[in-house]
Amino acid sequence: MPESPYVMLSVDAALRLVLAHASRLTPVRLPLRALGGRALAEDIVSAEAIPPFAAAAKDGYAVIAADGPGWRRLVGEQMAGYVGNERVTPGAVVRITTGAPLPPGADAVVMVEQTQEQAGLVEIQTGVAPLADVRPPGIDLEVGQRVLSQGQRLGPAEIGLLASLGLPDALVFPAPRVAVLSTGDELRSPGETLAPGQIRDSNRFSLMAAVQEAGGEPLDLGIARDRQGDLEACIRDGLLAADTLVTSGGVSMGQLDLLKPLLEMQGTVHFGRVNMKPGKPLTFATIADKPVFALPGFPVSSLVAFELFVRPALLQMQGRADLARLQVAVRLTHAVHHDPQRWEFVRAVVRREGDALIATTTGSQSSGRLLSMVGANALLQLAPAGSGTLPAGALVSALLLNSNSPR
């Protein structure tokens, strides 16, 4: 740990500190209908084989493969959902539907398109091998097979699999409740009339949307004025109602930047600056073991800091195993100026060109230009080295934002 919370940390060191203090939430058991997006808190092991019996994979006729083509006696039918009394003997067949149990004696299914039925007889028009169009017991899942792992996010396929195993619920990590607060005398909510010198608050709404995208439940704390009492009350109320607190603004070095001293008074500030652009004045603290992220006030700085630090913390709190975005190597389509002293995260559009991935920035990278985030599907990660200019064709690392992946 640094000697002072205001020693500037590297991005990696800051993320390690964040994750060291973002504890998993207590698991809860939820019904299938409420599991979407949640992460498992336990491994799921199959207690039964799927399918539990040999089943027809097509509509047609259950046959003995060795009988070969020719006319056969129709001795009954086997539909899905029950087990009949029919038995297939040499020279006989049973009509069968997809998913129905294979009747005793049969070892294959001939699909209906390769047959002709007439007056109680069925012409089998093609030869088949044993087990043709038959799904053997356990072909999908075997008894004792681990099918889902702790930390795995539950989507439609995973929830369907739980249902197929007969499980009405599962033990999962809950969604973190995230209190979101904007600070500043100059801020007004959308829909309010602006007086001279005032601006609209965009950060709160961007951050609440980012919380939802990361699987959390946002709690809107509104706007706190630059008054110590107002800020103290908002911090207290937010942490009483939520698992973590995210604020924006009030973390620079100005006379009204009150958040850092308040966080020091109420808890532990772990760091107050990160060697990155945008987002340098990011502050991270814990109060009563709950993480508090005091993000910069510029809209782009706020969202980039959320992406790099808050999002992984929220994923870890909800038990997710996949904390990191996908990183790929991309080639620049044009020269890019960057800060040679800090890690810089440049908003860009990455697309495929043949077998390669190429990147074009979204224009001006000003921390206040929220438009630079609109349409971006990647953050270029530019290391603090070199002359400050990367030429067209340079190979750089890009952090892909999954909501809009390259095509």
Q: What is the dihedral of CA 265, 202, 221, 21, to 10 degrees?
A: -50
Find how far residue 317's CA is from the centre of its chain: 13
- CATH superfamily for 35-49+140-173 is Molybdopterin biosynthesis moea protein, domain 2 (3.90.105.10)
Dihedral sign, CA of 175, 311, 304, 19?
Answer: positive
> What's the CATH number for 327-404?
2.40.340.10
Rounded-to-integer distance, Cα 210 and Cα 246, Å: 11
Tell me 112's DSSP state: G
Q: What is the pLDDT of residue 405?
A: 57
Give the residues across from 116 on adjacent strands: 123
pLDDT tens for each residue of 201-257? 999 999 999 999 999 999 999 999 989 899 999 999 999 999 999 999 987 655 556
- CATH superfamily for 11-25+174-317 is MoaB/Mog-like domain (3.40.980.10)
> What's the CATH number for 55-135?
2.170.190.11
Rounded-to-integer distance, Cα 372 and Cα 388, Å: 20
Rounded-to-integer distance, Cα 363 and Cα 166, Å: 53
Instruction: From 198, 222, 194, select the one nearest 208 (Cα to Cα).
Output: 222
Q: What is the pLDDT of residue 387?
A: 77
Rounded-to-integer distance, Cα 182 and Cα 159, Å: 37
pLDDT tens for each residue of 47-70? 999 999 999 999 999 999 999 999
Instruction: From 292, 297, 305, 299, select the one nearest 265 (Cα to Cα).
Output: 292
Domain boundaries of the chain, sorted by first residue: 11-25+174-317, 35-49+140-173, 55-135, 327-404
Name the average pLDDT for the chain.
Answer: 94
